[in-house]
Amino acid sequence: MNPPLTVPGAAQDIAKVTPERFSELPILASKIISQPENFSLRNGNAHLFADSATQNFNIVIFDQDVRVRAIPIAYAWNYGDGALRTLNFPGTAVPDHSFDEATSTSHVYKETGDYGVGLSTRYRGEYSTEGGPWTPIPGVANVPSAPITMSVWRTKKVLVADDCGTKPSGPGCASIFE
User: Which pLDDT value is given to residue 7?
Assistant: 46
Q: In this predicted model, what pLDDT tens digit does every residue of 43-66 receive, in sequence order? A: 999 999 999 999 999 999 888 899
Q: In this predicted model, what pLDDT tens digit does every residue of 149-170 receive, in sequence order? A: 999 998 766 666 667 777 777 6
- Pick the residue with more confidence: 56 or 174? 56
- Pick the residue with more confidence: 12 or 36? 36
| C-alpha torsion sign, points 29, 35, 39, 42 | negative
DSSP 105-125: TEEE-SS-EEEEEEEEEEEEE
Whether 19 has a pLDDT exceeding 80, the answer reads yes
User: Which pLDDT value is given to residue 177?
Assistant: 34
User: In angstroms, rounded to a whole number, what is the distance separating the alpha carbons of residues 148 and 37?
Assistant: 10
pTM of the model: 0.78
Percent of the chain residues topping a pLDDT of 90: 61
Q: How many helices and strands in the chain, by DSSP H and E?
A: 1, 10
DSSP E strands in 36-83: the ranges are 39-41, 45-51, 55-61, 64-78
Please state which CATH class domain 10-153 belongs to: mainly beta
- Pick the residue with more confidence: 76 or 167? 76
Q: Where are the domains of the chain?
A: 10-153
| 167 Cα distance to chain centroid | 49
Q: In this predicted model, what pLDDT tens digit does every residue of 98-127 receive, in sequence order? A: 788 888 999 999 999 999 999 999 999 999
| C-alpha torsion sign, points 81, 85, 91, 96 | negative
User: Do residues 74 and 87 lie in contact, with contact meaning Cβ atoms separated by under 8 Å?
Assistant: yes
Whether 173 has a pLDDT exceeding 70, the answer reads no
Closest to 116 in 3D by CA, of 38, 27, 16, 6: 38
What's the angle, vertex CA 135, arms to CA 128 and CA 86, rounded to 5? 115
